[in-house]
Amino acid sequence: MSRPGVARRIAWPRFWKAGLFVGSSALVLAVFLFTGQMIRRLTVEVRTTSSVLARFCAQASFPAATDLALQRIFAEVLSGIDFPIVLTDEQGLPRAWKGIGLDPALVPAASIDSLTMGLEISPVIRERVEWVRRRAADLDRRRSPIPMIQPITDARVGAVHYGDPEVLERLRWMPYLSVAGVVLLLALGLWGLAGIQAAEKRTIWVGMAKETAHQLGTPLSSLMGWIELLRARVEGVRDDAVVTIPAGELRETLSEMDRDVDRLSKVAQRFSHVGSTPSLQLQDVSPVVREAVQYVRKRLPGGGADVVIRERYDEVPPVNLNRELLEWALENLLSNAVSALDKRPAVIEVIVTRRAATEAVEVLVRDNGRGMTPVEQRRAFEPGYTTKARGWGLGLALARRVVQDYHGGRLTIRESAPGQGTTVVVSFPT
């Protein structure tokens, strides 16, 4: 039988991981696009600035120092540049530079003029000039130099050699660093999620083992009691003697033993459904609720003298359910309600009804016990969380899994406040 609601809930962790992957990919893509746009814009700005500088230098020609006004303008233009640049004349000799790691004051302009005229200069100055020329060649390998062309004669009077600003170099690394950061965060997130899931699984398995012992313990103890009762009948009697047991007593004993065996069979069926996909049948939920109430009522502390369980069963449409698993979940909810009772008279209300707004079939379990704080309500369904001194913290977690994962329903705490009791609602779609 198809259960789309269950399929959606079971597949939710996969969707969550897929959503995390898609979101991370979108973030990385956004970083790539933004960084690429910034790189293109800065590249255009650098190219434009270099072109304007080339036209300016072509108009002024070298040496610009012959005109003090041009010299001041030239110095102001260079001071506003934040990327490596070298200006060379028609002979390829550097005339000005910035951002290449050498102070221009260490190479006097007169020495460059001397080289232009073929005169000898200091070896130290010559080595510095050659270093600047090599640096200009390095810049040319990354960006093509911009020639300085005089507008009147079309003569080439020099070239502008330029590189990228430091911020542009950093921007180029940003996408890769972003990818590395996202991958690291994803790895840490998945590692943490795996650790949480592993801890939950350990808690669930420990709780399941204890729940198994608890579920099997009651019918086994009862069977052992009946066996001891029968053994007492034949204690000290010869092997060839005939033992007479009143028919009524024997029938009662066999009936109770049958009930205990049925209980053991039911427990086995319940645990066989855990981890698998149980079969659901369209049926009335009220008999299942009655059976769970009857089971809990027989096991009330003190024989139930101080505890009242009120029942109300409205007419509701049938729903798809697995009787054994749902009865198990309801027993856990009722047992939690009983354990929360801290006042007398103690009252538990069990109501089966249909919610008009959603047309869902609801099972309400309401008690007038100690209630829960908002923090306790948020953590109530966590595996291993309990406020009881001897609790295992599995009852509500197991009940929610049965209701939501297996039946496609919802298990929620509708109302609760310290000292005012709790109302838990099981809701089934129709």
Q: What is the CATH number of the domain that holds 337?
A: 3.30.565.10
pLDDT of residue 361: 94
Most confident of 98-107, 236-245, 365-374: 365-374
More confident residue, 139 or 204: 139
pLDDT at 13 over 60: no
Is residue 121 a part of any domain in this protein? yes
pLDDT of residue 283: 94
Triad 6, 9, 15: Cα angle to 5°? 135
Average pLDDT, the chain: 79
pTM of model > 0.85: no
DSSP state of 91: T
Triad 351, 392, 279: Cα angle to 5°? 55
How much is the average pLDDT of 35-41? 78
How much is the average pLDDT of 143-169? 80
End-of-domain residue from the set 129, 164, 199: 164
* Shared domain check, 127 and 68: yes
Provide the β-strand partners of residue 364.
351, 425
* Shared domain check, 190 and 333: no
Residue 382, Cβ neighbours under 10 Å: how many?
A: 14
Rounded percentage of the chain residues whose pLDDT exceeds 90? 17
Residue 373 identity: T
End-of-domain residue from the set 224, 256, 288: 256
How much is the average pLDDT of 184-209? 73
pLDDT of residue 124: 92
pLDDT of residue 271: 66
Rounded Cα distance between 252 and 263, Å, is 16
pLDDT at 64 over 50: no
* Shared domain check, 185 and 136: no
For residue 4, name the pLDDT band (cuts at 50, 70, 90). very low
* Shared domain check, 242 and 182: yes
* Shared domain check, 333 and 203: no
CA dihedral 76, 81, 84, 87 (to 10 degrees): -40
For residue 69, name the pLDDT band (cuts at 50, 70, 90). low
Cis peptide before 63 (omega within 30 of 0): yes
Residue 127, Cβ neighbours under 10 Å: how many?
A: 10
Residue 311 identity: E
Give me the long-range contacts of 336-340 (CB less than 8 A, separation at least 24).
336/395, 336/396, 336/424, 337/365, 337/366, 337/367, 337/369, 337/422, 337/424, 338/296, 338/300, 338/301, 338/307, 338/367, 339/388, 339/391, 340/367, 340/369, 340/370, 340/371, 340/421, 340/422
Report the relative pairing of strands 307-313 and 346-354 from DSSP bridges: parallel
How much is the average pLDDT of 176-205? 76
- Residue 374's domain comprises 280-428
Provide the β-strand partners of residue 88.
94, 159
pLDDT of residue 273: 63
pLDDT at 217 over 90: no
End-of-domain residue from the set 164, 197, 231: 164
131-140, 192-201, 211-220: range with lowest mean pLDDT: 211-220
pLDDT of residue 58: 61
* Shared domain check, 351 and 290: yes
* Shared domain check, 142 and 37: yes
pLDDT at 184 over 80: yes
Rounded Cα distance between 366 and 320, Å, is 24
Number of domains composing the chain: 3
For residue 382, name the pLDDT band (cuts at 50, 70, 90). confident
